[in-house]
Amino acid sequence: MSGPARARIVVTGIVQGVAYRASAQAEAVRLGLAGWVRNRPDGRVEALAEGPRARVESLVAWCWRGPPLARVSDVEVAWEEPRGEPEGFRIAGW
């Protein structure tokens, strides 16, 4: 059993326009995480995920693969202190 974890994940590559954001949200929901995912103006995708550490790590691993059309070149992960992110996972605005 793993304790709570929170990670800010920024994905670089061909990740916008290939359903990456919606696929990342679906994976986070499947894993039972709280947080959000959004497209950034610089062409990258950013997510904040909170939940059991093993599940957050699973989302990070998924981010390297992404949906079939994505071409991920880098995944930056910044671990943060868990803050009790509200339940659920959502697509955030700019």
In three-state secondary structure terms, 89 is strand
Residue tagged 């700019």 (tokens): 94
In three-state secondary structure terms, 45 is strand
Spatial neighbors of 8 by CB under 8 A, at least 6 apart, are: 46, 47, 48, 77, 78, 80
Query: Residues 6, 8, 21, 30: which is the catalytic one?
Result: 21
Query: Residues 6, 8, 30, 39: which is the catalytic one?
Result: 39
Catalytic-residue membership of 83 = no
Catalytic-residue membership of 55 = no
Q: Read off the DSSP letter of residue 32.
A: T
Q: Catalytic positions, please?
A: 21, 39
